[in-house]
Amino acid sequence: MTNTVHLADRVGKLGVETAFLVAAKAAAHAARGNRVYPFHLGDMNLPTPGNIIEAAYLAMREGKNGYTPNAGIPQLREALATEFNTTRKTSYSLDNVAVQPGGKPVISKFLLALMNPGDEVLYPNPGFPIYESQIRFHGGVAVPYPILPGEKNFSFDLDAMEAAITDRTRLLIVNDLHNPTSAECSAEDRRKIAEIAVRHNLQVLLDEAYFDVRYEGESVSLIQEKGMVERSVILHTFSKKYAMTGWRVGAALGPKEIIDVIAKLNVNDESCTSHSNQYAACEALQGDQAGAREILSTLRKRRDLTVELLNDIEGVKCYSPGATFYLYPDVTEAMAKAGYSDYQPFLDAVLANTGVSICARTHFGTAHPGEERKYLRFAYSGIDARDIEAGLGKLKVFLEK
């Protein structure tokens, strides 16, 4: 039977979201009767606000069960344009919006619409692993730029970003409010990135999945910088702000010329996003925001608790970032003290001894030459305060013994 299946060559370049592999190990550990403290996956254990659920139910009962236009229902596209014009000072209309089954599909559609085989694409490393996977799968050359530790948070290494540009560089992916590090751009960073993009005529994917997961201050989009609106596609998702990860509703926003191609990809790939879920997304944007506020408030408390408890562990140093629901502590000394130099045996020992399930630097790309510090990623979106306390208590005992 084996010789009847012949996989395409490109399949060898396909990566996975390695956090799902960590999840599988955690599930196996739990299946053996052990308690697991799930810090590994950016899923959420908070309920979707009830008004959003009711809006979906109403839409279904009202017969919103057929295909929608490929780019989404006009109401949702208009509501998104209005939302962005308010929060990002853009001048979008519904022509600049293509609804997607989640934020993630924007990554492949951006690349399929704009990248030729052999084009070089800059992407953050560490970073969301799907960037590198999709660039390579569709024939591009994935060129990483680093994220560096700073005084109070991580930041983008813009000198390295520009130094990596060659005459074959066409696209730039920026994930301001960054997974896994929570890095964010300063006003000067935003200006510099826009200058780089304009100077080298790069087309840009702005992954703003965490734009609204902000505890202090205000998120400012790179789209507001000079020259960006005409060259950028924004990845937007309803997953995080409204605890709707499993609903699979997001959108691509950008120049009409690109959005038209992305809508054409919708025709070819999935026809449209789930009809009633699009009505739910309208309610999320335009209805009562009490649910979203409560979600954010819960996440803020979890962040404070997790940061405090991590910093209370000997050999662990963790910033308190103002956005996202990820922490990326430096655990170099703690790992050394525990006698580990490689991540996987360390993660396995932590899981086996404490039930704490976490991702490591290696799940977000290959270490840069000369990279010496060790990092873990803790997501606190899917774990209650009580379990954060219990899990990190056990981790402290394990690491300090």
* Binding residues for a copy of itself restricted to 58-87, rule: CB under 8 A: 60-61, 63-68, 70
Q: Which of residues 94-133 bind a copy of itself (CB under 8 A)?
A: 101-102, 104-105, 108, 112-116, 130, 133
Minimum distance from CB of 236 to a copy of itself (Å)?
Answer: 15
Q: DSSP string spanning 128-194? A: -HHHHHHHHHTT-EEEEEEEEE-SSSEEE-HHHHHHT--TTEEEEEE-SS-TTT-----HHHHHHHH
Q: Which of residues 305-334 bind a copy of itself (CB under 8 A)?
A: none
Q: Which of residues 371-400 bind a copy of itself (CB under 8 A)?
A: 382
Minimum distance from CB of 319 to a copy of itself (Å)?
Answer: 27
Minimum distance from CB of 398 to a copy of itself (Å)?
Answer: 28
Q: Give the pair of three-digit tokens for residue 385.
A: 């305060």
* Residues 6 or more apart whose Cβ sits within 8 Å of residue 143: 120, 121, 122, 123, 164, 169
Kindly state the number of chain residues that form the binding site for a copy of itself, as judged by CB under 8 A: 77
Q: Give the pair of three-digit tokens for residue 231.
A: 């060259």
Asked if 302 touches a copy of itself (CB under 8 A), the answer is no
Which residue number, 246 or 345, has a Cβ lying nearer to a copy of itself? 246
Binding residue for a copy of itself (CB under 8 A) from 96, 134, 179, 306? 134
Which residue number, 116 or 186, has a Cβ lying nearer to a copy of itself? 116
Minimum distance from CB of 90 to a copy of itself (Å)?
Answer: 14
Which residue number, 174 or 258, has a Cβ lying nearer to a copy of itself? 258
Binding residue for a copy of itself (CB under 8 A) from 37, 84, 92, 137? 137
Asked if 4 touches a copy of itself (CB under 8 A), the answer is yes
Q: Is 53 exposed, middle or buried (0-12, 13-18, 19+ CB in 10 A)?
A: middle
Binding residue for a copy of itself (CB under 8 A) from 186, 201, 344, 366? 201
Q: Which residues pair with 131 in a beta bridge?
A: none
Which residue number, 384 or 400, has a Cβ lying nearer to a copy of itself? 384
SS3 45: coil
Binding residue for a copy of itself (CB under 8 A) from 36, 48, 281, 299? 48
Separation CA 73–CA 67 (nearest Å): 10
Which residue number, 170 or 178, has a Cβ lying nearer to a copy of itself? 170
Asked if 194 touches a copy of itself (CB under 8 A), the answer is no
Which residue number, 178 or 248, has a Cβ lying nearer to a copy of itself? 248
Minimum distance from CB of 199 to a copy of itself (Å)?
Answer: 12
Minimum distance from CB of 147 to a copy of itself (Å)?
Answer: 22
Which residue number, 211 or 238, has a Cβ lying nearer to a copy of itself? 238
The answer to whether 382 touches 38, Cβ cutoff 8 Å, is yes
Which residue type occupies 117?
A: P
Q: Give the pair of three-digit tokens for residue 270.
A: 């999935």
Cα–Cα–Cα angle for 172, 371, 149, rounded to 5 degrees: 70
Which residue number, 212 or 330, has a Cβ lying nearer to a copy of itself? 212
The answer to whether 110 touches 233, Cβ cutoff 8 Å, is yes
Q: Which of residues 210-269 bind a copy of itself (CB under 8 A)?
A: 227, 230-231, 243-248, 255, 257-258, 261, 264-265, 267-269
Which residue number, 162 or 270, has a Cβ lying nearer to a copy of itself? 270
DSSP code of 40? S
DSSP code of 323? B
The answer to whether 221 touches 193, Cβ cutoff 8 Å, is no
364-368's contacts with Cβ under 8 Å and 24+ in sequence apart are: 364/18, 364/125, 364/126, 364/127, 364/128, 364/129, 364/179, 364/180, 365/125, 365/126, 365/127, 365/129, 365/132, 365/144, 366/125, 366/144, 368/125, 368/144, 368/146
Which residue number, 66 or 370, has a Cβ lying nearer to a copy of itself? 66
Q: Which of residues 6-35 bind a copy of itself (CB under 8 A)?
A: 6-11, 14-17, 20
Q: Which of residues 263-292 bind a copy of itself (CB under 8 A)?
A: 264-265, 267-277
Q: Is 171 exposed, middle or buried (0-12, 13-18, 19+ CB in 10 A)?
A: buried
